[in-house]
Protein backbone atom coordinates (compact mmCIF):
# COMPACT_ATOMS: atom_id res chain seq x y z
CA UNK A 1 0.00 0.00 0.00
CA UNK A 2 1.26 3.45 -0.89
CA UNK A 3 1.88 5.82 2.00
CA UNK A 4 1.14 9.55 2.03
CA UNK A 5 4.33 11.49 1.54
CA UNK A 6 5.38 14.21 3.91
CA UNK A 7 5.62 17.65 2.21
CA UNK A 8 9.34 17.71 2.93
CA UNK A 9 9.70 14.57 0.81
CA UNK A 10 8.27 16.04 -2.38
CA UNK A 11 11.64 16.45 -4.03
CA UNK A 12 12.89 12.99 -3.07
CA UNK A 13 12.80 10.14 -5.60
CA UNK A 14 9.85 7.79 -5.44
CA UNK A 15 11.79 4.78 -4.24
CA UNK A 16 8.92 2.27 -4.24
CA UNK A 17 8.26 2.92 -7.95
CA UNK A 18 11.96 2.72 -8.77
CA UNK A 19 12.22 -0.52 -6.81
CA UNK A 20 9.34 -1.99 -8.77
CA UNK A 21 10.99 -1.14 -12.09
CA UNK A 22 14.30 -2.62 -10.98
CA UNK A 23 12.68 -5.77 -9.69
CA UNK A 24 10.85 -6.22 -12.98
CA UNK A 25 14.18 -5.88 -14.75
CA UNK A 26 15.69 -8.43 -12.38
CA UNK A 27 12.87 -10.86 -13.13
CA UNK A 28 13.37 -10.58 -16.88
CA UNK A 29 17.13 -11.00 -16.51
CA UNK A 30 16.58 -14.03 -14.30
CA UNK A 31 14.14 -15.62 -16.73
CA UNK A 32 16.65 -15.17 -19.54
CA UNK A 33 19.32 -16.80 -17.38
CA UNK A 34 17.04 -19.77 -16.68
CA UNK A 35 16.26 -20.24 -20.37
CA UNK A 36 19.95 -20.00 -21.24
CA UNK A 37 20.84 -22.53 -18.54
CA UNK A 38 18.13 -24.92 -19.73
CA UNK A 39 19.60 -24.76 -23.23
CA UNK A 40 23.05 -25.50 -21.85
CA UNK A 41 21.74 -28.54 -19.97
CA UNK A 42 20.21 -29.77 -23.21
CA UNK A 43 23.55 -29.23 -24.91
CA UNK A 44 25.28 -31.25 -22.19
CA UNK A 45 22.80 -34.10 -22.59
CA UNK A 46 23.61 -34.27 -26.29
CA UNK A 47 27.37 -33.77 -26.15
CA UNK A 48 28.33 -34.78 -22.58
CA UNK A 49 30.47 -31.64 -22.55
CA UNK A 50 31.00 -30.89 -18.86
CA UNK A 51 31.93 -27.30 -19.68
CA UNK A 52 28.35 -26.73 -20.86
CA UNK A 53 27.06 -28.14 -17.58
CA UNK A 54 29.35 -25.86 -15.58
CA UNK A 55 28.09 -22.90 -17.58
CA UNK A 56 24.50 -23.99 -16.89
CA UNK A 57 25.22 -24.05 -13.16
CA UNK A 58 26.65 -20.54 -13.36
CA UNK A 59 23.60 -19.30 -15.26
CA UNK A 60 21.21 -20.88 -12.76
CA UNK A 61 23.14 -19.26 -9.93
CA UNK A 62 22.74 -15.90 -11.67
CA UNK A 63 19.00 -16.53 -11.96
CA UNK A 64 18.73 -17.35 -8.25
CA UNK A 65 20.42 -14.06 -7.41
CA UNK A 66 18.41 -11.88 -9.80
CA UNK A 67 14.86 -13.28 -9.62
CA UNK A 68 12.97 -11.77 -6.66
CA UNK A 69 12.58 -14.32 -3.87
CA UNK A 70 8.80 -13.92 -3.74
CA UNK A 71 8.36 -14.76 -7.43
CA UNK A 72 7.56 -18.35 -8.46
CA UNK A 73 10.50 -18.38 -10.88
CA UNK A 74 12.87 -18.09 -7.92
CA UNK A 75 11.96 -21.57 -6.65
CA UNK A 76 12.21 -22.86 -10.23
CA UNK A 77 15.73 -21.47 -10.53
CA UNK A 78 16.69 -23.05 -7.20
CA UNK A 79 15.32 -26.45 -8.19
CA UNK A 80 17.01 -26.38 -11.59
CA UNK A 81 20.27 -25.31 -9.99
CA UNK A 82 20.07 -28.20 -7.54
CA UNK A 83 19.39 -30.69 -10.34
CA UNK A 84 22.27 -29.32 -12.43
CA UNK A 85 24.60 -29.53 -9.44
CA UNK A 86 23.68 -33.18 -8.96
CA UNK A 87 24.51 -33.86 -12.60
CA UNK A 88 27.79 -32.01 -12.22
CA UNK A 89 28.64 -34.09 -9.16
CA UNK A 90 28.00 -37.26 -11.14
CA UNK A 91 30.51 -36.05 -13.71
CA UNK A 92 33.18 -34.73 -11.36
CA UNK A 93 32.72 -36.47 -8.02
CA UNK A 94 33.29 -33.11 -6.31
CA UNK A 95 31.77 -33.42 -2.82
CA UNK A 96 31.40 -29.65 -2.46
CA UNK A 97 29.14 -29.61 -5.51
CA UNK A 98 26.91 -32.28 -3.96
CA UNK A 99 26.78 -30.46 -0.64
CA UNK A 100 25.66 -27.33 -2.47
CA UNK A 101 23.01 -29.37 -4.31
CA UNK A 102 21.55 -30.46 -0.96
CA UNK A 103 21.48 -26.95 0.47
CA UNK A 104 19.96 -25.52 -2.70
CA UNK A 105 17.41 -28.34 -2.79
CA UNK A 106 16.32 -27.62 0.76
CA UNK A 107 15.86 -23.96 -0.09
CA UNK A 108 13.87 -24.86 -3.22
CA UNK A 109 11.49 -27.07 -1.24
CA UNK A 110 11.04 -24.42 1.44
CA UNK A 111 10.29 -21.81 -1.24
CA UNK A 112 7.64 -23.99 -2.91
CA UNK A 113 4.04 -24.12 -1.60
CA UNK A 114 3.00 -27.67 -0.71
CA UNK A 115 0.08 -27.47 -3.16
CA UNK A 116 2.30 -26.40 -6.06
CA UNK A 117 2.26 -28.72 -9.08
CA UNK A 118 6.04 -29.17 -8.89
CA UNK A 119 6.28 -29.65 -5.13
CA UNK A 120 6.67 -33.44 -5.26
CA UNK A 121 9.27 -33.14 -8.02
CA UNK A 122 11.38 -30.76 -5.96
CA UNK A 123 11.03 -32.85 -2.81
CA UNK A 124 12.08 -35.92 -4.78
CA UNK A 125 15.11 -34.08 -6.21
CA UNK A 126 16.19 -33.16 -2.68
CA UNK A 127 15.75 -36.75 -1.56
CA UNK A 128 17.99 -37.97 -4.38
CA UNK A 129 20.69 -35.45 -3.45
CA UNK A 130 20.52 -36.50 0.19
CA UNK A 131 20.90 -40.17 -0.73
CA UNK A 132 23.93 -39.38 -2.84
CA UNK A 133 25.49 -37.29 -0.08
CA UNK A 134 24.92 -40.11 2.41
CA UNK A 135 26.72 -42.41 0.01
CA UNK A 136 29.80 -40.21 0.35
CA UNK A 137 29.60 -39.23 4.02
CA UNK A 138 27.75 -42.17 5.66
CA UNK A 139 25.91 -39.62 7.79
CA UNK A 140 22.68 -41.31 8.95
CA UNK A 141 21.01 -37.96 9.55
CA UNK A 142 21.18 -37.33 5.81
CA UNK A 143 19.76 -40.76 4.98
CA UNK A 144 16.93 -40.32 7.47
CA UNK A 145 16.09 -36.98 5.86
CA UNK A 146 16.21 -38.66 2.44
CA UNK A 147 13.62 -41.21 3.58
CA UNK A 148 11.42 -38.41 4.91
CA UNK A 149 11.66 -36.58 1.57
CA UNK A 150 10.84 -39.77 -0.34
CA UNK A 151 7.77 -40.29 1.82
CA UNK A 152 6.72 -36.69 1.26
CA UNK A 153 7.12 -37.00 -2.52
CA UNK A 154 4.85 -40.05 -2.52
CA UNK A 155 2.32 -38.43 -0.21
CA UNK A 156 2.06 -35.21 -2.22
CA UNK A 157 1.76 -36.78 -5.67
CA UNK A 158 -1.43 -38.36 -6.97
CA UNK A 159 -1.42 -42.05 -7.86
CA UNK A 160 -1.93 -41.13 -11.52
CA UNK A 161 1.01 -38.72 -11.56
CA UNK A 162 3.48 -39.83 -14.28
CA UNK A 163 6.33 -39.96 -11.75
CA UNK A 164 4.43 -41.54 -8.86
CA UNK A 165 5.92 -44.99 -9.49
CA UNK A 166 9.39 -43.46 -9.60
CA UNK A 167 8.79 -41.75 -6.26
CA UNK A 168 7.66 -45.06 -4.78
CA UNK A 169 10.81 -46.77 -6.06
CA UNK A 170 12.96 -44.02 -4.55
CA UNK A 171 11.16 -44.52 -1.25
CA UNK A 172 11.78 -48.25 -1.44
CA UNK A 173 15.47 -47.71 -2.15
CA UNK A 174 15.93 -45.12 0.61
CA UNK A 175 14.00 -47.11 3.22
CA UNK A 176 15.92 -50.29 2.39
CA UNK A 177 19.22 -48.39 2.57
CA UNK A 178 18.28 -47.06 6.00
CA UNK A 179 17.17 -50.54 7.10
CA UNK A 180 20.63 -51.88 6.29
CA UNK A 181 22.05 -49.29 8.66
CA UNK A 182 19.54 -49.61 11.50
CA UNK A 183 17.96 -53.09 11.08
CA UNK A 184 14.58 -51.56 11.85
CA UNK A 185 12.02 -54.13 10.58
CA UNK A 186 9.45 -51.41 9.94
CA UNK A 187 11.75 -49.86 7.37
CA UNK A 188 12.12 -53.18 5.59
CA UNK A 189 8.36 -53.61 5.54
CA UNK A 190 7.97 -50.07 4.20
CA UNK A 191 10.51 -50.74 1.46
CA UNK A 192 8.75 -53.92 0.39
CA UNK A 193 5.35 -52.22 0.34
CA UNK A 194 6.69 -49.28 -1.68
CA UNK A 195 8.22 -51.71 -4.19
CA UNK A 196 4.89 -53.54 -4.51
CA UNK A 197 2.97 -50.27 -4.91
CA UNK A 198 5.44 -49.06 -7.54
CA UNK A 199 4.92 -52.23 -9.58
CA UNK A 200 1.14 -51.91 -9.26
CA UNK A 201 1.29 -48.28 -10.35
CA UNK A 202 3.39 -49.16 -13.39
CA UNK A 203 1.03 -51.96 -14.43
CA UNK A 204 -1.92 -49.61 -14.12
CA UNK A 205 -0.12 -46.93 -16.15
CA UNK A 206 0.70 -49.35 -18.96
CA UNK A 207 -2.67 -51.07 -19.04
CA UNK A 208 -4.36 -50.69 -22.43
CA UNK A 209 -8.10 -50.21 -22.67
CA UNK A 210 -9.34 -52.04 -25.81
CA UNK A 211 -12.17 -49.54 -26.18
CA UNK A 212 -9.60 -46.77 -26.66
CA UNK A 213 -7.56 -48.61 -29.28
CA UNK A 214 -10.24 -50.28 -31.36
CA UNK A 215 -10.56 -49.08 -34.86
- Residue 82 reports pLDDT greater than 60: yes
Per-residue pLDDT of 167-193, as tens digits, reads 999 999 999 999 999 999 999 999 999
- Residue 94 reports pLDDT greater than 70: yes
The crossing angle, in degrees rounded to 10, of helices 72-92 and 95-110 is: 160
Cα–Cα distance for residue pair 12/10, rounded to 1 Å: 6
Q: CB 205: neighbour CB atoms within 10 A?
A: 13
- Give the model's pLDDT for residue 89: 98
Per-residue pLDDT of 49-65, as tens digits, reads 999 999 999 999 999 99
Cα–Cα distance for residue pair 74/67, rounded to 1 Å: 5
Residue partners of 36: CB distance under 8 A and separation at least 6: 59
- Give the model's pLDDT for residue 204: 87
Amino acid sequence: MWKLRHPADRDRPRRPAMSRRLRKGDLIEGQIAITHANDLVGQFEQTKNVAALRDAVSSYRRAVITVPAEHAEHATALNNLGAALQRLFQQTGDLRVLEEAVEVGRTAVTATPSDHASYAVRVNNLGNALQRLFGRTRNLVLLTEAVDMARLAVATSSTDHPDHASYLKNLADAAHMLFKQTYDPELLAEARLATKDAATTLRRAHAIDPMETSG
